[in-house]
Chains A and B, each alone.
Chain A
């Protein structure tokens, strides 16, 4: 399959940006939380689920999406949001609880909504799948070629919402794709202890739809598989499931003691980091220069820095604004 070099460069920049973003978020989140870790303290309170290591899933799919396509994401949503083109400043401000945030400080990190680029996420496992199903239904009813993609973790594939939605999407032949990011753990429970099938793409057979599996967090393979699934969806050939074997470098949430996994596991995973692999691929196979790569990296870093500065400089909402945006 022909791979667009522009697409690959976009993917690299996006993955790099996501990594920068999450690294910086890990630092910001840690502020004010020592010496005694208190989840509610510091400039970024509440739970924090970072996607460091899971960049290929978001970038490899979203490179094929346009603004009109819908993306729903789970409680670990930053990589999807960035890849879908959510306003980085307003997203960051939201996570800092500021008035300039996407939801004026009401939603926070697990509840980012940017209707401008048709992105949403939520804190209930599996709940975004039917929302994407509905967007796919709307796309078909409106006679557009838009698609809807639900990103989920492998744990969500054991929720009723997953099976019910796929059954309907298949029945109605909707432009609907579920991307399952198998990062091996649902919080502490390994996939082997929660699903009897080795990979969730085989579940596609239950609905008579297409199933794809991407091994080893491979960005190029994710790119190819997503391209096919999106084309199928756009041309009326119905839904697909993509499972990508991906890696969660960090705990389920920041502060997770990670008693359930060997510390070496992550060290080994980091040695085959997908960002480094894509970088090498661009340099060695695509004739991209170090200079071009450096430019992309600088651009990404600059954008991320800007977003954090914007968030920090923004004001908090006034307390009584808690009563706005809902009828009371």
Chain B
């Protein structure tokens, strides 16, 4: 038992384990998408499933996102629980009609009579010079459109627990996993991509943020990579005598406003960090929540760090310039506290 508690898994193995457990539990669960079969998913989210469940339940599709995501909608309406992978979130453009006009709206338009218990999982994130069409996070694009839950876990533990919750949820869920937190052999090896994951099935609620570090001087809200960058910055801030509270948002829809508000009321300062574009994004949403609910608790203006409204550039110095990092967070936090 002790060993189980100590077991370490990478993000992708945690995800694949969640899907395996749910496939064993419920025959209605199946997986569909490009290269999810023999390959095990380009980012390893379905590793080993094809070997265990075969091609009837782990289905390689043609490169036809409109058709196979639309087909997941049709299957979900029939009571199946499909998990369908959109390989890179950037590819949403070829199939967005199915996602936002149909997956997200049919349950509502049917007056709740049609349920779509499906998971659309997709890889997000940059930082490895894959350029403008393969490096976006697009959190806000999906979070903006009503009718679908949107989650973005940042640890192997949450990846597993939230995937199980997503599969069991009767609403359509967009499940974003960050490439560099999957623990892939061909990416920068981050400590953050490995973590403690129990062997049994467990759920982590959708719609609940996680305070990953408690502090009293400033609240830093992050999503996926920016959570880990914020934690690194927080360590350095501590050496300067600043106690930062770090919130891992985890769920973009539903958004856990209460955790953010309570934290801001405690620390009186808010810095929001997002790997998505700055304007009209999650940083603006969270700043607006602070303005609406705890403006008078703030001792300084809300600060935001995000990609400065340019497509993600290819060349390393350009990309590193636009992405958030621990240095930027550290500098911004110091300024904010001293303001």
Which residues in A have some Cβ–Cβ distance to B below 8 Å? Answer: 36-41, 45-47, 94, 97-98, 101, 103, 105-111, 122-127, 155-156, 158-161, 186-189, 193-195, 255, 259-260, 316-323, 326, 328
Contacts and interface: CB of A to CB of B under 8 A. Distances in A.
A77 B90 CA distance: 19
Q: What does DSSP make chain B's interface, helix, strand, loop or mixed?
A: loop
Given A127-B94, A317-B318, A156 B189 contact: no
B187 A39 contact: yes
A108 B66 contact: no
A39 B94 CA distance: 26
Given A160-B66, A260-B38, A38 B187 contact: yes
A94 B313 CA distance: 11
Nearest to A319: B321
Given A188-B38, A318-B317, 18 more contacts: A40-B188, A46-B130, A47-B134, A123-B90, A123-B134, A124-B94, A159-B63, A189-B62, A194-B62, A194-B63, A195-B62, A319-B318, A322-B308, A322-B313, A322-B319, A326-B309, A326-B310, A326-B311
A297 B314 CA distance: 32
Query: Which of B39, B187, B189 has the largest count of A CB atoms less than 10 A from its CB?
Result: B39
B310 A323 contact: yes
Interface residues of B, number: 45
B276 interface: no
Contact of B39 (A41, A97, A259): A259
Contact of B64 (A107, A158, A255): A158
Interface in B214-229: none
B34 A319 contact: no
Q: What does DSSP make chain A's interface, helix, strand, loop or mixed?
A: loop
Given A40-B188, A107-B131, A188-B38, A159 B94 contact: yes
Contacts of A320: 321
A124 B131 CA distance: 12
Contacts of B131: 46, 106-108, 110-111, 123
Contacts of A108: 129-131, 314-315
Contacts of A127: 94
Contacts of B62: 155, 158, 186, 189, 194-195
B322 interface: yes
A161 B314 contact: no
B128 A46 contact: yes
A186 B311 CA distance: 27
A105 B187 contact: no
A261 B42 CA distance: 16
B288 interface: no
A259 B38 contact: yes
Nearest to B135: A46
Nearest to A33: B186
Contacts of A36: 189
Interface in B302-329: 308-311, 313-322
Query: Which of B62, B134, B189, B314 has the largest count of A CB atoms less than 10 A from its CB?
Result: B314
B297 to A, nearest CB: 32
A114 to B, nearest CB: 16
Nearest to B38: A260
A40 to B, nearest CB: 3
A198 to B, nearest CB: 15
B158 interface: no
Interface of B: 34-35, 37-40, 42, 60-64, 66-67, 90-91, 93-94, 127-134, 185-189, 308-311, 313-322
Top 3 A-B residue pairs of the complex, sorted by shortest distance between their CB atoms: A108-B314, A97-B315, A105-B315
A287 B93 CA distance: 52
Contact of B188 (A38, A106, A194, A328): A38
A105 B319 CA distance: 10
B54 to A, nearest CB: 14
B320 to A, nearest CB: 7
Contact of A159 (B35, B64, B127, B134): B64
A328 B189 CA distance: 33
Nearest to A127: B94
A81 to B, nearest CB: 16
A140 to B, nearest CB: 26
11 contacts: A38-B187, A45-B129, A107-B132, A107-B314, A111-B133, A123-B134, A124-B133, A193-B60, A194-B60, A259-B40, A322-B322
Nearest to A94: B314
A188 B188 CA distance: 23
Contact of B34 (A109, A126, A186, A328): A186
B310 A328 contact: yes
A106 B313 CA distance: 5
Contact of A39 (B37, B63, B128): B128
A45 B128 contact: yes
Contacts of A123: 90, 131, 133-134
B186 A255 contact: yes
Contact of A106 (B37, B42, B91, B314): B314
A319 to B, nearest CB: 4
A46 B314 contact: yes
A160 to B, nearest CB: 5
Given A97-B315, A106-B315, A123-B134, A37 B186 contact: yes
Contacts of B61: 189, 194
A159 B186 CA distance: 29
B192 to A, nearest CB: 15
B318 A105 contact: yes
Contacts of B67: 160
A40 B317 contact: no
Given A40-B187, A161-B94, A187 B34 contact: yes
